[in-house]
């Protein structure tokens, strides 16, 4: 029964997620909240997609007896800007004029993660909650400008289409088999379809047919086909002129969106991700016992390579963490916890059609002031202690489609607070994306 419920929930979520044509595919879960609560092992926060809401279930989904279990670790990330519809030009999307509203606000996201199984040193299972914020700054480059210019050149094609249709119509009216208005309309349809397909490079038969119908929508109002060929042609071309603009707009919107989506997926250049998060634990499993053991600040620069190497991305991470040593002395008395930790490292990611792979290598430097007795005047003395650590983790993401992904992480993590010998990472997660920019949000 539980297996059936689980499958039904996943199916319902997936059906909602697949409803619209989105600009960006979902990426691996990498929210500051999930990282701080410990359900996401990676230190490098990969730039997120522009989904309005992303959700992740962290679990191996099977217990030791091979039975399906519902996960109890959840993470969500919400981007308020993309929760409503917007109409942005391609230039405004890539090069917003206002850094505050066009980048910081637009890319701001808020994350939360929860767990019911945060273990204290005595193995007591407690509740945990974490929250985080982040935003991304993209640094425009020459390639972005070239893309904008190329897309703009696609906009004024209706004049060429009109010329092709006019030339075809002039040939048809002198053919002996064209004896009526319906004969002419039947013969001109493939001429219009060929012109649209060639000039717009659209391979969708349904889309082309729909725009042919748009152009010929008023054909029943044309004058009766008779010996006044010039008058009939003038009326026909006036109709084409009036209706072609709408067809041109729709075809351009589809073509520009398809090309733009392909470019955004491997957009080259630099970006900078800044994030903050904190973790709350409830040792007595009630709200009044809440304590914040951990805070962290991330700075993550990223660079996507050019042209033939555009599938590769190089990321760095600088993370500063502070620990509440009083909390750890009380609930983890035998563990060595340093008040300040500084993480630094790199990650390399490769994005392909259905899957992506990321490998990170991150070092850690921890330090704290340890009480070292008192001097002759009774003043407390301290000594500075330090520790270094290292983790290496590989993450494989398979996109079931652009809104649903399965992620698996494997590697060797930093030493655990509870069990310093257990550093093996083996985690499976299911990730959903909802909302975000669609074709209607991006215009020429």
Token look-up 């997620």 returns 17
Contacts of 128 (CB under 8 A, 6+ apart): 37, 38, 114, 115, 118, 279, 280, 281, 282
Q: What is the pLDDT of residues 218-242, one digit of tens each?
A: 888 888 877 678 888 888 888 887 7
Cα torsion 144, 145, 150, 152: sign: positive
Q: Which fold has domain 2-141+268-443?
A: Porin (2.40.160)
C-alpha distances (whole Å) from 28 to each of 79, 274, 388, 432 are: 16, 17, 28, 10
Residue 113's nearest CA partner among 275, 280, 276 is 280
Q: Rounded to whole angstroms, how far apart are CA atoms 365 and 43?
A: 14
Residue 367 has pLDDT above 90, yes or no: no
Work out the average pLDDT over 116-120: 83
pLDDT-based confidence at residue 256 (cuts at 50, 70, 90): low
DSSP helix/strand/coil, 336: coil
- Domain extents in the chain: 2-141+268-443, 149-261
Token readout for 370 is 């340890």
> Is the pLDDT score of 384 beyond 60?
no
Residue with tokens 């006019």: 166
Rg (the chain; Cα; Å): 30
**What does the pLDDT read at residue 134?**
94
**Spatial separation of the C-alpha atoms in residues 386 and 222, rounded to whole Å:** 87
Two tokens, residue 102: 């066009």
Paired sense of beta strands 88-89 and 442-443, if any: parallel
pLDDT value, residue 308: 78
pLDDT digits (tens, 9 = 90+) for 158-217: 567 778 888 888 888 888 888 888 889 999 999 888 887 777 666 678 878 888 888 888
Burial 324-357 (b: 16+ CB within 10 A, else e): beebbeebbeeeebbbebebebebebebeeeebe
Tell me the percentage of the chain whose pLDDT exceeds 70: 73
Geometric angle at alpha carbon 244, from 240 and 247, rounded to 5°: 140
pLDDT at 280: 92
| For residue 359, pLDDT beyond 90 | yes
Beta strands at 424-434 and 340-351: parallel, antiparallel or unpaired: unpaired
pLDDT on residue 6: 47
The residue with tokens 């257990």 is: 422
Assign 69 a pLDDT band (cuts: 50, 70, 90).
Answer: very low
- How far CA 252 is from CA of 17, 198, 266, in Å, comes to 26, 13, 22
pLDDT at 271 exceeding the cut of 50: yes
Q: How far apart are CA 168 and CA 187, in angstroms?
A: 9
pLDDT band at 68 (very low <50, low <70, confident <90, very high): very low
Q: What is the pTM of this model?
A: 0.69
Higher pLDDT, 190 or 25: 190
Q: What is the mean pLDDT of residues 355-381?
A: 71
Mean confidence (pLDDT) of the chain: 78
- Give me the pLDDT at residue 321, please: 93
């Amino acid at each position: 029964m539980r297996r059936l419920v689980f499958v039904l929930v996943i199916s319902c979520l997936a059906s909602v997620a697949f409803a619209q044509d989105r600009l960006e595919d979902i990426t691996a879960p990498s929210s500051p909240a999930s990282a701080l609560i410990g359900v996401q092992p990676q230190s490098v926060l990969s730039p997120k997609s522009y989904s309005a809401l992303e959700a992740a279930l962290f679990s191996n989904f099977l217990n030791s007896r091979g039975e399906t279990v519902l996960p109890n670790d959840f993470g969500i990330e919400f981007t308020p800007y993309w929760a409503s519809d917007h109409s942005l030009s391609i230039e405004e999307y890539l090069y917003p004029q206002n850094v505050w509203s066009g980048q910081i606000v637009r890319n701001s996201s808020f994350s939360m993660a929860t767990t019911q199984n945060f273990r204290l040193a005595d193995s007591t299972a407690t509740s945990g909650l974490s929250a985080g914020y982040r935003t991304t700054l993209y640094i425009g480059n020459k390639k972005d400008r070239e893309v904008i210019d190329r897309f703009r050149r696609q906009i004024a094609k209706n004049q060429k289409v009109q010329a092709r249709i006019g030339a075809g119509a002039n040939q048809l009216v002198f053919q002996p088999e064209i004896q009526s208005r319906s004969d002419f309309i039947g013969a001109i349809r493939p001429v219009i379809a060929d012109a649209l397909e060639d000039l717009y490079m659209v391979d969708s038969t349904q889309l082309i047919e729909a725009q042919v119908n748009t152009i010929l929508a008023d054909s029943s109002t044309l004058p009766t086909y008779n010996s006044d060929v010039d008058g009939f042609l003038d009326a026909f071309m006036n109709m084409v002129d009036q209706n072609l603009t709408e067809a041109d707009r729709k075809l351009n919107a589809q073509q520009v969106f398809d090309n733009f989506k392909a470019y955004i997926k491997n957009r080259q250049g630099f970006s900078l991700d800044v994030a903050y998060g904190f973790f709350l634990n409830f040792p007595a499993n009630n709200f009044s016992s809440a304590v914040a053991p951990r805070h962290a600040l991330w700075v993550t620069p990223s660079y996507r390579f050019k042209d033939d190497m555009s599938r590769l991305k190089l990321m760095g991470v600088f993370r500063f963490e502070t620990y509440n040593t009083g909390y750890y002395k009380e609930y983890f008395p035998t563990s060595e916890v340093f008040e300040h930790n500084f993480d630094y490292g790199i990650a390399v990611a490769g994005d392909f059609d259905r899957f992506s792979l990321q490998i990170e290598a991150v070092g850690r430097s921890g330090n704290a002031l340890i009480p070292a007795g008192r001097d002759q005047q009774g003043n407390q003395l301290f000594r500075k202690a330090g520790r270094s650590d290292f983790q290496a983790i590989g993450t494989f993401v398979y996109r079931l489609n652009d809104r649903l992904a399965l992620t698996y992480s494997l590697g060797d993590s930093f030493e655990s607070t509870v069990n310093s010998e257990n550093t093996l990472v083996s985690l499976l997660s299911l990730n959903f994306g909802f909302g975000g920019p669609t074709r209607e949000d991006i215009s020429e």
